[in-house]
Amino acid sequence: MRFLKNHPCSIAFVIMFFIPLLTNNYTQYIVNLVLIYILVTIGFNLTIGYVGRFSFGNAAFFGIGAYSVGLLMKTFNMSFWVSLPTAGIVSGGVGLLLGFPALRLHRYYLAITTLSFTYLMRFVYIHGGDFTYGPSGFDIPNPTLFGLNFSDDKMIGYIVLVVFFALLWLTRNLIKSRIGRAFAATKGGENAAEALSIDTTKMVLLAFTASGFIVGVAGGLFSIVMRRISPDCFGLGELLKHFIMAVLGGLGSITGSILGATVIILLPEFLRQVQGVQEMVFGLLIVFFVLFAPKGLYGFVLKIIPGLSREKLYGDV
C-alpha cells in the first residue's frame, strides 16, 4: 500500500502501457486525446489556477506547438523527436513574452489582451501564405524511429503516454516544491508574498513559461494524433473548451485538471446514444456540474468523501 501511495504515476503508467494492446484504434484515439487535454488543462491551470492570472492565451500556445511540430516536420524535414521539444521551447518562449503584460495587467484587462493574442495567431495561420498553408491547413507526417513508422493510433499512443507521464511527473514535483508554494503565495497577494521575500515577478514569468511549454508540447502531440491541422482547430471554441475543463475540474489542482479534461472529452462519446439532443444534454450536464460543484469536480470529491483531505487527494495525483 505504501508503494501505491508513494508511486502513483508509476503504477498508472504500467497500467496504461497495456491499454493499446486491449483496445481498437478508435478507443486508443480517444485515450490519446484525453491525455493530451489533461496536459492542456494542467498548463492552463498554472497561470489561471496557481498564480491567479486571467490569461486566455492557452489556445495560442496549443496552436503554436501544433504548427511548430507540423511545419518543422513537413517543411524542414526535421525529425519529430527534435520537433516536439523545439515546439515546447518556442511556445514556452511565447509564454514568457505574454508573462510581461501579466505583471502590469490584471483580471479582465489581461484576459482581453491574451484573448487578442489568440485571435492574432489564428490570423497568422490563415494568412501565412505558403508557409502556414493557409486556411485549409496541412497534413502532418508520421513520426519515425529507426525505420519504424508510427502510423496508427496505438503506436502513437505510446508516444503520447511517455510524454504525458514525463510532464505530469515534472509538473507534480514543481507544484509540490518551494516554487509551487511561491505560486500559491503570489496568487494570495503579491504584497504579502514579497514580504516573505518571494520574487513575484519571477514566479509569474516562470508560470507563464511553464504553461506555454506544457501546452505547446500538448499541441505537438495533438498534431500527430489528428494527422492534419488547420486554423479552425485553435480558435475561440478551442479556448472555451480549455477554460471549461479547468473550471469544471477545479482551479489550482492537478487532480482537478485530470477530472475536468477526462469528463469533457469522454462525455460526448457517451452522449452519442442520444443523437439530436446531444448538445442540449451536454449543456445541461455542464450547468448541473457548475451549480452543484462550484469548486469543480475536485472540490465535489473532497466534499462527498468523509475524511478525505486536500493533501491526501493531492498526494494521489
Domain boundaries, the chain: 2-315
Distance of alpha carbon 140 from alpha carbon 153, whole angstroms: 14
Q: Which pLDDT value is given to residue 256?
A: 85
CA distances from 70 to 50, 66, 128, 141, 192 (A): 31, 6, 14, 8, 44
Reading the block at residue 94, the C-alpha cell is 511565447
Q: Which pLDDT value is given to residue 277?
A: 67
Contact 272, 278 (CB under 8 A): yes
Convert the pLDDT of each residue in 39-60 to its tens digit.
Answer: 999 999 998 888 888 888 888 9
Residue of higher predicted confidence among 57 and 286 = 57
Q: Which pLDDT value is given to residue 280?
A: 76
Q: Which pLDDT value is given to residue 10?
A: 66
Q: Which pLDDT value is given to residue 315?
A: 38
Most confident of 5-19, 50-64, 296-310: 50-64
Secondary structure of residue 262 in the 3-state scheme? helix
Average pLDDT over residues 134-159: 88
Average pLDDT over residues 257-285: 78
Residue of higher predicted confidence among 310 and 183 = 183
Concatenating the DSSP letter of every residue in 80-129 gives HHHHHHHHHHHHHHHHHHHHHHHHH--HHHHHHHHHHHHHHHHHHHHH-T
Q: Which pLDDT value is given to residue 305?
A: 67
Reading the block at residue 99, the C-alpha cell is 508573462
pLDDT grade for 312, boundaries at 50, 70 and 90: very low
250: left (phi over 0), alpha (psi -120 to 50) or beta: left
pTM: 0.89
Q: Which pLDDT value is given to residue 314?
A: 41
Query: Worst-scoring range by mean pLDDT, 76-80, 137-141, 208-212, 287-291?
Result: 287-291
Contact 257, 167 (CB under 8 A): no
Reading the block at residue 313, the C-alpha cell is 487527494
Average pLDDT over residues 72-88: 93
Residue of higher predicted confidence among 218 and 22 = 218
Q: Kindly give, in sequence order, each residue whose CB lies less than 8 Å from that of residue 132, ignoring residues fewer than 6 positions away.
A: 67, 71, 124, 125, 126
pLDDT grade for 307, boundaries at 50, 70 and 90: low
